[in-house]
Amino acid sequence: MDMEKVNSMDFGEFVDVFGNVIEKCPLVAAAVWSQRPFSGLEDLEKHFFDFIDALPRSGHEGILRCHPDLAGRDLQQGTLTAESLREQSQAGLISLDSDDRLRLQQLNALYRKRFGFPFVLAARLSDRAAVPRELARRLHCQPESELRTALGEVKKICHLRLADLLGAGPASVEPLRGWGSERQQDAPQRGHPSPEPAPAWKDNPLTHTKQVEN
């Protein structure tokens, strides 16, 4: 899908296509439509990020609370969104054995209790072994920094979903595996160079996802 097509959409089409780029928050796409025309993926995602950034703290928490637990109730009940099901599937989370599932559910419950929102992670950039490790690590973070980390994950998910919809293809997506990681920030010459300017979350050292470099 090219940007000419995107810019020609009425708001109904636009929300149909981009409404779940932020999980269960079509309000964001519906608001972003006001900002058209968009010059490209980067410009489009900037408007999504700007809208999110401008929300009050309760709105940030609200966005996070619209996300499902990884390998949680919605997966068991078959009520995941198509996008989330695909992402959790790609991370191997839909075929956990019962011990691993129980362990993840326990960690998710501890996380929700500590922070008041669910553990959000760009699952496509992770895997079944790394998810509980990262969850256990983030459980010990301070609430303020954890909120920023979680919003960084929302933005990674948004970027990947937009790239899918715009057919940007894996060439534009793969470098994400390094973007924002501490190691790559320490040594930017390593890994895949990004063909585009770094996305907003790169500036936040709290959004690193070490496990995806393993």
Q: Which stretch binds its own copies (CB under 8 A): 27-35, 84-92, 156-164, 194-202?
A: 27-35
Q: Does 59 bind its own copies (CB under 8 A)?
A: yes
> Of residues 6, 44, 63, 104, which one binds its own copies by CB under 8 A?
63
Say how many C-beta atoms besides its own lie within 10 A of residue 4's C-beta.
8
Catalytic, out of 47, 60, 67, 208: 67
Q: Establish whether the linkage from the previous residue to 188 is cis, with ω within 30° of 0.
A: no
Residue 37 or 116 having the CB closest to its own copies: 116
- The reply on whether position 17 binds its own copies by CB under 8 A is no
Give 24 or 46: the residue with its C-beta nearer to its own copies: 24
CA distance 187 to 93: 31
> In the range 103-162, which residues lie near its own copies by CB under 8 A?
112, 116-117
208 is catalytic: no
Selected from 2, 11, 39, 203, the binder of its own copies by CB under 8 A is 11
**Cα 19 from chain centroid (whole Å):** 14
As a whole number of angstroms, the distance between CA 213 and CA 50 comes to 28
Part in contact with its own copies (CB under 8 A); list of ranges 50-58, 99-107, 162-170, 184-192: 50-58
The site map against its own copies for 65-104 (x = CB under 8 A) is xx------x-------------------------------
CB of 33 to its own copies, least distance (A): 7
Residue spans of alpha helices (H) in 67-142: 73-77, 82-90, 98-115, 130-138
Cα–Cα distance, 128 to 131 (Å, whole number): 6
Six-digit token string for 2: 């090219």
Indicate the residue type of 66: C
Contact 138, 184 (CB under 8 A): no
Contact 104, 131 (CB under 8 A): yes
Catalytic residues: 67
Residues that bind its own copies (CB under 8 A): 10-12, 15, 24-35, 51, 54-59, 61-66, 73, 112, 116-117
